[in-house]
Structure formats: C-alpha cells, structure tokens
Amino acid sequence: MQENQLCAVTAENRAMVGFVGCDNEYLVIPPEVTLDGKCCPLSVISGKAFLRCGSLTHVVVMDGYRLIGQNAFADCSALTSVTLPETVDKIGYGAFFGCKSLREITMPKEAEEISDSAFYGCRSLGSITIPRGIHRIGNLTFGACLSLQGVSLPEGLLSIGESAFYTCSNLECIWIPESVVSLGRFIFVGCERLKEIYFGGTVEAWKRVRFRVQLGVKKVPVICADGVVKLL
C-alpha cells in the first residue's frame, strides 16, 4: 500500500482506528494510521461509518478530517458528546440523525456546510453554536430537536432551508442575521413555544427577505434592529 492511498474511515475498516464494536464507549479517531509500515493520513469519515453503534457515548475526531459523511453517526442512540476539529468543513446529510442522547457538540469555527437533516431528531441537544462560515442551513437540519431553546445564527448566513426547525417544541427565540435573504417553507411549524424572532437588520431589510413561512397556530413578532416590531 502506498503512502496517502488511504484517506477515509469506513464501516468496513473502522477497526483500524480502534473501534471494536460493543466494547467502545469513548472513541478518539486519529488523523492517521500506519499500515504495512506506511503512514496513511485520514481526512474523511465516510457515510454510515459508525451507523447505529449503540455503545458509543463520546467521540473526539482529531485534526485533519475535512468531511463527516452521510449518516456517519446516525442512530448512535447513546452518543452524548462529539468534538469535531477545526479542519472539518462539511457535515454531511443526516450525519448525526437520530442521535437522541446527544447533548453537546463542538463545531469547527470555519465549517462551510451543514447538510440536510444533519441533526434531525437530536432531541437532547439544548443549544448549538453555528459556525461563522456557514452560508446555508439545510432542510430539516435541526428538525425534532425537542430540547433546543435558543438559536443564534451567524452573520454571513444566506438561507435557512425548508422545515429547518420543524417541531422544535421548546424553541423560544431565534436571532436571524441581516445577511439572510431566504427562509424556507414550514421553517417553524411545530415550534409551539416560539415567542420572538430577532432580525439583525431594519424593517426595510426584513421586507426584502424572500420567505414562505408557515408558523402554525400563532403569529410571532419579528423584532428588527431599528426597534420596530412587525408580525410575521
């Protein structure tokens, strides 16, 4: 095997990073492994690499990884904390889908993309800091995150996808930056406790935002930077 040939952790080869199934609770995923005397850097955790690994409770991904793949940790029902390195720039579709015990995740500050359904069903996740480099929140990204109470979105964010916060039943407030130009349909449906939406721009800037939002049974005030309240 040639140096640098191996670049991904997969469901088939995950034993090489120390994962031995039911014996693993705390897993540190190294940035490289040695095979046949050769150093093999790792940069990708592939799709479904740790799918339904019910023993995992804590995961630390070390520097060097760029991508957390589709459903990489989906349905890891006991997983409570995840630390991602600053090198990660994309969290794939459904990467942590259904991780119902996940309470804490350290996100890379320079991440660029959080894909659809990435954290769907993480019902123990009480808060999350969205990195500044993110330009789009995908469809259903935080859907059914039942413990999520408050969200502050970063400047530079351009769009929030359809049903992004669907049935976040404990969400009380959200801060949307002036940079946002598009909000998806059904974005807050089922957010029964949502009381206020804070917008970083003026009322005039809010009027320029393209949106088709259904909030369910009640209207929610949008509090703009110039102090004027407008009902959505």
Three-class secondary structure of residue 68 per DSSP: strand
Q: How many domains does the chain have?
A: 2
Question: Which residues 6+ apart lie within 8 Å of 133 measured at CB?
Answer: 89, 109, 110, 111, 112, 154, 156
**Strand 32-35, strand 38-41: pairing:** antiparallel
Average pLDDT, the chain: 89
68 and 153 together in one domain:
no
Amino acid letter, residue 79: L
User: Which residues 6+ apart lie within 8 Å of 168 measured at CB?
Assistant: 142, 143, 144, 145, 146, 148, 188, 190, 191
Note the pTM of the prediction, 2 decimals.
Answer: 0.91
Q: Domain containing 105: what range?
A: 1-117
Same domain, 84 and 185: no
pLDDT of the residue at 227: 83
Whichever domain contains 5, its CATH number is 3.80.10.10
Which helix or strand (DSSP H or E) is residue 203 part of? Answer: helix 203-207
Picking from 60, 94, 117, the residue at the C-terminal end of a domain is 117
Q: Average the pLDDT over each of 90-94, 119-123, 150-154, 225-229 and give the range with the smallest value.
A: 225-229
Chain segment 45-71, per-residue pLDDT in tens = 999 999 999 999 999 999 999 999 999
Say whether both 6 and 111 belong to one domain: yes
